[in-house]
Structure 1
Amino acid sequence: MSEQDLIEMIRFAGRYEVLSDGNGNYTSIPVDVEAVLITPESHLECLSFFRSSEE
């Protein structure tokens, strides 16, 4: 979907995961209110934290 289509879709209240292919095309996935989201950044932080405590 285009950027304009994405803006129209996420106007509705809710939680969404938005993915981009880097070429201006987007995919929006509804996310359940109770879902736990782990971003790539937070995953790397957890790996770093738990690996350093093992040493």
Structure 2
Amino acid sequence: MSNPLDIFVFNLFSTLATYLMFGLFTVGASLIIFKVAYFNIVLSAYKSFLSSTNN
């Protein structure tokens, strides 16, 4: 019915799709973490800047 080449190509494509989805998920999660960390750094710097100008 199906030759081994078709099965090999199907397995290869499914593995590539899995790696691609995992890579996109990892990149998205790291971008969210980076945005949150960057926002916290900017917020703390802004607070220290405000406290230094008030005193």
Normalised-by-shorter TM-score class: 0.3 to 0.5
- Greater share of strand: 1
Query: Bigger radius of gyration, 1 or 2?
Result: 2
**Alignment TM-score, normalising by the size of structure 1:** 0.37
More helix by share: 2
> What TM-score, normalized to structure 2?
0.37
